[in-house]
Amino acid sequence: MNISLDTSKAVQFLNAGAVEAYESKVKEAQNALENATCAGNDFLGWLHLPTEITEEFLNELQAVANTLREKCEVVVVAGIGGSYLGARAVIEALGNSFAWLVNDDKKNPNIVFAGNNIGEDYLAELTEYLKNKKFGVINISKSGTTTETALAFRLLKKQCEAQRGKEEAKEVIVAITDAKKGAARTCADKEGYKSFIIPDNVGGRFSVLTPVGLLPIAVAGFDIKALVKGAQDMEKATGVDVPFAENIAAQYAATRQALYTQAGKKIEIVCNFQPKLHFMAEWWKQLYGESEGKELKGIFPAACDFTTDLHSMGQWIQEGERSIFETVISIETPAKKLLFPHDDENLDGLNFLEGKRVDEVNKMAELGTRLAHVDGGVPNMRVSVPELNEYYLGQIIYFFEKACGISGLLMNVNPFNQPGVEAYKKNMFALLNKPGYEAESKAIQDRLANEK
């Protein structure tokens, strides 16, 4: 069984045949991806990555993960953007919501994240938390010079060596980096760290199914073979030979493009009614934002956690400017079962729910919300997921990746670069007086002086 897509509550906002009109353009985009004739064709390694992953490679990853699991109470994943969001999305989706607080399950180390911000309080609190703990580090950086990650790794490396000794630290620090060049590669070779390669032809936001995502997920105790199998099955289900009407990646890409170009919908809100999917939405936001937001084009990717955000953003979604559409990720069957109890006093008036599963209430909240939002003029798509496990998360990941590649090409942009990301870095380095940025530094100082 695969995840499924329902676009019926979206196409009703479009002219008849609007989605079908994209069939030939979608086919062109699919062929361009398959034949590597599209813009950014040197970053298409993700396209057939699931079916290229070998059993031996997964076993090698698992062996390193087992070493970290045996030797560490805590493992810090140091990375930013695509170097941590995919792993965090899967780990948060599958993990116990309160494991971070209680960690009663000593079989699995706590997984924490660093290198994704420059917050001094955050890093100081992290180093304090790690004191007197047996911790390891997975350092994820192609260059080794990305400021946020490099800063965090320097702190973590020093602390790990101080607490465990340099020799023992070598056994619990793993580098995921470039094959041959860069500061992280040089450091890994010099220190003797176990290392894995970030493929040259896979961009960060498409890297969940490389060691970037697979190693942290395995360390957390989850089945990376099942995750990859889900992605493999979705690769087949969204292949270029699958008819347009049956290909959910093609349908999703075409529907959102029709909403964007014909119905004036400039914002897509990915919603969930399962709190565990919060970071899956964060991963999705980067995937689509970095891929499509170019040349003054692109659907703005936003996310909401329902029902929580219905009590904050719900009013705007229901009655605000009609520039939005929603994609709901719906989990059909939760992993746990909890029945609503009887109360003799019934002060809250909820005895009518006695004996019902909490998820039944949640599902009616989901359906009621979709009906209300559609009635309020918000087109709505629904991604239905049978249950939340590694296999279906693998399907979700590849489905969104494949649809993103098609959608970006439909928008006539290069979905695989991110030139705009460098702008803030240049300014930051100039303001910090980094060597080599003298001219930029003077230009910024003159500008700031003139703005006073």
Enter the tokens of residue 348: 């809250």
Q: What's the distance, CA 217 to chain centroid?
A: 13
Q: Which of 148, 235, 268, 290 is catalytic?
A: 290
HEC letters along 109-147: CEEEEECCCCCHHHHHHHHHHHCCCCEEEEEECCCCCCH
Spatial contact of 301 and 285, defined as CB atoms under 8 Å apart: yes
Q: Which amino acid is at 281?
A: A
Select from 384, 361, 360, 364 the least CA-distant residue to 372: 364
**Is 311 considered catalytic here?**
yes
Q: Which of 180, 425, 426, 442 is catalytic?
A: 425
Q: What's the distance, CA 139 to chain centroid?
A: 18
Distance CA 81, CA 113 (A): 12
Spatial contact of 10 and 374, defined as CB atoms under 8 Å apart: no
**Is 345 considered catalytic here?**
no
Distance CA 139, CA 186 (A): 13
Q: Which amino acid is at 398?
A: Y
For residue 206, what are the contacts with CB-CB under 8 A and spacing of at least 6? 43, 45, 46, 82, 287, 401, 416
Select from 126, 129, 125, 152 the least CA-distant residue to 140: 152
3-state helix, strand, coil in the chain (%, to 5): 55, 15, 30
**Is 425 considered catalytic here?**
yes
Cα distances from 164 to residues 64, 130, 158, 190, in angstroms, run 18, 12, 10, 18
Spatial contact of 165 and 41, defined as CB atoms under 8 Å apart: no
Spatial contact of 84 and 116, defined as CB atoms under 8 Å apart: yes
Q: Which of 107, 311, 336, 337 is catalytic?
A: 311
Distance CA 18, CA 31 (A): 21
Q: Which amino acid is at 387?
A: E
Select from 121, 122, 158, 154 the least CA-distant residue to 139: 154
Distance CA 237, CA 257 (A): 21
Enter the tokens of residue 5: 């897509």
Distance CA 28, CA 71 (A): 50
Select from 46, 83, 42 the least CA-distant residue to 228: 46
Catalogue the active-site residues: 290, 311, 425
